[in-house]
Copies of this chain bind each other. A is one copy, B any other.
């Protein structure tokens, strides 16, 4: 059509991207929205409410049969007066010699149809090597990123993908083959963020019929002819064999996905109720109250655990059924403190709580600090110890000799240098109100400190004497008396949240 594509260079992170924007003009379209796929499409857009009135739709066009059919049939609906407008986008992955020609084909087609089109050339091979990812994965990421960039730039309301019912069937089978929970069976959705899949209930055959009836040109996707890839193995071996058992198998698989998606939304609702009731964040650690979930059905409990793992890690990749089962043993097991290192997540039972965290908790092994004079001293875990000398006592915090953020000693008896160090095996101290010494380990157990609290515990002392198990218990000596004239005061400033 003699349209000179305007090349625009976008700066998009690590790699260059060229935009070929065809001029906008309209051609008459000979099709009426009265047949097969167009009727289907019109019904689907209405039933699934995929496009808002007056919406702008960006169609992802590979140049293959499915996406070309989607472009033509959506265009036919706009010609018939449906209230939305179209744009197109194409990504050339540069993986096949003919990929440049495919891009040219799409640009030319859109020019002929009067549809504005963005084309991007990416060296997916180089990018995959650089990112150490698979070609397919990188290709998908690049496409998605580009489509979203264009959609935002052009204020598109929706991005239309041409996945159809047979793709959905393959996706379901692929997930089954790879191994998935029931939620995975939901496979592709009608709508996912900006992305919509108007063809999700249309068969490949419907699409082929439309393409043939209108003698529409498209490019062959070379990978379709090969059985190298899993998806093609599914398409050319598994699905035909299943079809010989039930010719309707693709429809049944797509239906299974639809039921799974519906039931998934129920599960999410049920799980959210339990999580809201039983789980809470303490800093970056998710705490799940064991008592609050103990009565739940084990199926729901397993899903709640999955959700807690998702919340703690950000996603569930690499999490398998056996990991969920391990976490469930923490719940069932009577032992008060156990922990698991699962892929990219740390899970622990701490008395009545299950803890989920992306990082194992901080410890302060082998910490040692000498305090030669009053001042502020940073401690592991973001805490700060303030040591001051004053004439007036304020009294210890908390119950006498017990939990609290500060303590006071008679400074005439306790002298610098003091020291602060990690708790060591066998540490003991003489406590207020008792004869003899008590092991630190026993104090930990009495106070039901979690292993994390124990690992972060420090002791303050001078000479060979333990004065204070920081924040937990003080020794019974060197108390401030009525005749104390000078007071040594130690205060912990907790880490900011």
Contact = CB atoms under 8 A, between A and B. Distances in A.
A262 B299 CA distance: 6
A302 interface: yes
Interface string A327-364: 00000000000000000000000000000000000000
A249 to B, nearest CB: 5
Contact of A256 (B182, B234, B242): B182
A144 interface: no
Contacts of A242: 173, 176-177, 238
Nearest to A255: B321
A372 interface: no
A181 to B, nearest CB: 6
A263 B264 CA distance: 11
Contacts of A177: 242, 245-246, 249, 252
A244 B234 CA distance: 10
Q: How many of chain A's residues touch chain B, expressed as a range?
A: 35 or more
B230 A234 contact: no
Contact of A259 (B174, B182, B251, B266): B182
Contacts of A233: 241, 244-245
A255 B179 contact: yes
Interface in A147-190: 173-174, 176-182, 185
B256 A178 contact: no
A300 B407 CA distance: 59
Contacts of A178: 245-246, 252
B237 A302 contact: no
Contacts of A246: 177-179
B269 A297 contact: yes
Given A182-B182, A255-B179, A256-B180, A297 B245 contact: no
Interface string A238-277: 1001101110110111011001101101100100000000
A49 interface: no
A237 B241 contact: yes
Interface string A67-98: 00000000000000000000000000000000
A260 B263 CA distance: 12
A14 to B, nearest CB: 32
A467 to B, nearest CB: 53
A298 interface: yes
A428 B241 CA distance: 66
A174 B241 contact: no
Nearest to A236: B241
A179 B238 contact: no
Contacts of A259: 181-182, 321
Contacts of A298: 262
Interface of A: 173-174, 176-182, 185, 230, 233-234, 237-238, 241-242, 244-246, 248-249, 251-253, 255-256, 259-260, 262-263, 265-266, 269, 297-300, 302, 321
Given A179-B256, A255-B321, 17 more contacts: A173-B242, A177-B242, A177-B252, A179-B248, A179-B249, A179-B251, A179-B255, A180-B252, A181-B256, A181-B259, A182-B185, A182-B259, A233-B245, A234-B245, A262-B299, A262-B302, A266-B299
A-B CB proximity, top 10 nearest: A179-B252, A266-B299, A237-B241, A230-B245, A263-B299, A177-B242, A266-B297, A262-B299, A177-B245, A238-B241
6 contacts: A179-B256, A182-B263, A234-B245, A237-B237, A262-B302, A266-B300
